[in-house]
Structure 1
Amino acid sequence: MDERFPRARPLGFEMPTGTDPLSVRKRIEAMELLLERSLVIPGTSYPIGLDSIVGLVPVIGDFVTAAMGAYIVWEARNLGIPKWKLWRMAGNIVFDSAVGAVPVLGDAFDLAFRSNSRNLKIVKNHLDKHHPATRVIEG
């Protein structure tokens, strides 16, 4: 499997419900995994998620995945991430949804532009700097 794309977590892991930064980080990582890397295209090692699949449904699919991506921004807001970073995260979702709404071309774009992965990276960078105890060594 390609090392750039971590493997999916096994079923049965517990979703943390706390408001502490580590619990929020785990929920955001789980949502990003679901939206961007939960499945693999058969015959390849390229991961896709609900964002690419549900996005195939015209208009409604892009709206649903944008709402799910907005959850990541909402969780980031609860962490106290600066407003300019929240706007950048919202911009990633709007851009992904706008281009994703274009028939055929937008669906191909959804495979390459992973707004939720970009937003996860913004959150991780913030947490690593401001809450270093939440840092997870990925291996």
Structure 2
Amino acid sequence: MRERLERLKRLAWLLDASFRLPGTKFRLGLDAVIGLVPGGGTVIMTLVSLYIVWEARRMGAPMSVLVRMLVNVALEAAIDFVPLVGDLIDAAFKANLRNVALLEDYLNGKLL
């Protein structure tokens, strides 16, 4: 189970924080870059984000945690459909890192 969580953490980091904007402390990942592709990018990245939720379900996360994770994915996807401004907000929201943190909190007994 620990290996699965570590794999999801690496995936979330790749999607949300793998690149640093030069001259800033702001980080973004493949989600923000691929999300720039009109229409299709958002759909593809939403499916990847849903994979993290699916893995959380397989790891035994309760419905309360899964619903919070799904809300994060839905918010990010909805925001990302707004051209340019949505992409900027999406880069800052980082739903995948939020969702992995929710899963980790649950697994560590902090969420019930």
Give the structure-1-normalised TM-score. 0.75
More helix by share: 2
Partner of 2:59: 79
- 1:116 and 2:58 equivalent? no
Alignment of 1:1-139 (within 5 A): 21-129=1-109
* Alpha-carbon shift at residue 111 of structure 1 (Å): 1.9
Q: Give the ranges of 4+ consecutive aligned residues of structure 1 lying more than 2 Å apart after TM superposition.
A: none
* Alpha-carbon shift at residue 95 of structure 1 (Å): 0.9
- C-alpha separation between the residues in 2 aligned to 1:34 and 1:116? 10
- One-letter amino acid of the counterpart of residue 89, structure 1: M
* Alpha-carbon shift at residue 99 of structure 1 (Å): 0.9
Identical residues among aligned pairs (%):
36
* Alpha-carbon shift at residue 125 of structure 1 (Å): 0.3
- C-alpha separation between the residues in 2 aligned to 1:23 and 1:52? 26
Q: If you compute each CA radius of gyration, which structure gives the higher value, 1 or 2? A: 1
* Alpha-carbon shift at residue 113 of structure 1 (Å): 0.9
Choose between structure 1 and 2 for higher RCO, CA contacts under 8 A separated by at least 6 residues: 2
RMSD of aligned alpha carbons: 1.2
Deviations 1:78-122 (A, max 9, x none): 111001211211111011011111011101111211111110111
Deviations 1:26-53 (A, max 9, x none): 1110111110111111222211101111
Counterpart secondary structure, 2:109: helix
Deviations 1:11-35 (A, max 9, x none): xxxxxxxxxx101111110111110
Give the structure-2-normalised TM-score. 0.92
8 Å contact 2:9–2:100 — kept in the other structure?
A: yes
